[in-house]
Amino acid sequence: MHYYNIYNLLYITNTNLTEPVGKSLIEIAKAVLQTEAESVLALQERIDDNFEKICNTLKGCRGKVVLIGMGKSGHVAKKISSTMASTGTPSFFLHPGEAGHGDLGMVTRDDVAIMISYSGEADEILALLPGIKRMNVPIISLTGNVKSSIAKSSDFHLDVSVDKEACPNNLAPTSSTTAALAMGDAIAVSLINANNFTPEDFAMSHPSGSLGRRLLTLVSSIMQSGEDIPMVLKDTLLIDSLIVMSEKALGMVLVTENGKLAGIFTDGDLRRTLESNTEFQKLTIEDVMTKDCKSIEPQEPASMAMQMMEKYSLNSMPVVDSNNNIVGAINMHTLIQAKLF
């Protein structure tokens, strides 16, 4: 018989934890991804008329879609709710524990509930069923057991069962949570199409994101206006126009006639003028300006100005109203400052 003191046991335990057992970490990681991928792909066979009925029920919801889940399923429910809310389907997450102590009052008769529980037997969710049913709120459930209490109590059920978890002990929710999340995404994206949700709609709910800035920022909010506009009359001497261009520091000067845009003169035009003219001091701005220049109106998205400047290789552009009156000026630096890139 062998006897080990506590130090021997600690050594053996620590050694077993740090030494590789069988597969390498890379092999284990690849196996996890393979297992979860197979679990998600298996869901394709479960997309049928029932799924379409679920989407139509959600599309017809006059209130909000209420996502309910406990534990890991709760985290999945939060993500699905967030995705729906940001893509045109009003939604919120309801913690079943808090719902059982008063927050169930957040649910109205116009709502639709989606309950997520892999076992389909989460006590906290089961406790909510009588109250939700009393309000005649449609219940959609995502479980891994079609014969579970939650599945049987639902108006619609989606089977998100998996053959096995990616966890080596087949215990930690891994493949099952991935499958539930993927099914939630399938619902959310289907509703995007059903609701004709556009990139512009997406920007409205993401004003702080890069897409929101590109689609919601108007030319009028970033252009230089008033006294900051580099502007001269068309009979102004070129040398005097350059002083205005330098003072306003936009790399251009706009040429006006009776308040309307007649042309533009830029840094690039200056270089070309110096190369081709010897009697520089006698020139007027009209002699060297670019006529029929590109312009944009103030109510247009700043992203359109960016697209035009990229398309026509422009560094600056005048802003005019519908009558061709000069109301502002923008350049590439203005767009960069607005974080439109």
What is the pLDDT confidence band of residue 280, given thresholds at 50, 70 and 90?
confident
Selected residue with higher pLDDT from 14 and 318:
318
| Mean pLDDT of the 129-152 span | 97
Query: What is the rounded average pLDDT of the residues 261-277?
Result: 90
Share of the chain above pLDDT 70, in %: 91
How does residue 339 score in pLDDT terms, banded at 50, 70 and 90? confident
Report in angstroms the alpha-carbon separations of 221 from 210, 299, 341. Answer: 16, 9, 16
Using the 8-state DSSP alphabet, how is residue 142 labeled? E
Average pLDDT of 227-252?
94
Residues 6+ apart with CB under 8 A from 158: 46, 50, 51, 54, 140, 141, 142, 183
> What does the pLDDT average to over 300-311?
90
User: In angstroms, rounded to a whole number, what is the distance separating the alpha carbons of residues 47 and 268?
Assistant: 59
* Residue 278, pLDDT above cutoff 90: no
Give the angle 96-80-145 at the CA atoms, nearest 5°.
Answer: 65
- pLDDT given at position 265: 96
Query: What's the rounded mean pLDDT across residues 143-160?
Result: 98
pLDDT number for residue 246:
93
Higher-pLDDT residue of 136, 341: 136
The structural architecture, per CATH, of the domain 219-337 is Roll (3.10)
Q: Under CATH, domain 24-197 is a member of which superfamily?
A: Glucose-6-phosphate isomerase like protein; domain 1 (3.40.50.10490)
Whole-angstrom distance, CA of residue 92 vs CA of residue 65: 7
Angle of helix 49-59 relative to helix 175-194, nearest 10 degrees, comes to 60
Entry field: residues in the chain: 341
Domain regions of the chain by residue span? 24-197, 219-337
Pairing of strands 65-69, 260-266: unpaired
What pLDDT sits at residue 256? 95
Q: Which amino acid is at 38?
A: E
User: If we measure between CA atoms, which residue out of 221, 289, 284 comes closest to residue 255?
Assistant: 289
**Does 54 score more than 60 pLDDT?**
yes
Residue 7 banded pLDDT, cuts 50, 70, 90: very low
Q: What is the pLDDT of residue 341?
A: 61
**Residue 19: per-residue pLDDT:** 40
Instruction: Give CA–CA dist 5/57, Å, rounded.
Output: 65
Higher pLDDT, 23 or 170: 170
Write out the DSSP string of 54-80. HHHHHHT-SS-EEEEE-THHHHHHHHH
Mean pLDDT of the 128-156 span: 97
Residue type, 23: K
210 band by pLDDT with thresholds 50, 70 and 90: low
Q: What pLDDT was estimated at residue 209?
A: 67
Beta bridge partners of 328: 319
Give the pLDDT score at 20: 43
Q: Write the pLDDT tens digit of every residue in 87-110.
A: 999 999 999 999 999 999 999 999
Nearby residues of 181 by Cβ (< 8 Å), 6 or more positions away: 76, 79, 80
Q: Residue 12: which pLDDT band, with cuts at 50, 70 and 90?
A: very low
Collect all residues with Cβ–Cβ distance below 8 Å to 231 and sequence separation of at least 6. Answer: 244, 253, 254, 255, 256, 326
Choose the weakest-confidence range: 31-35, 210-214, 243-247. 210-214
pLDDT, tens only, 163-196: 999 999 999 999 999 999 999 999 999 999 999 9
Q: For residue 134, give Cα distances in angstroms to 112, 129, 192, 275, 296.
A: 13, 8, 30, 84, 57
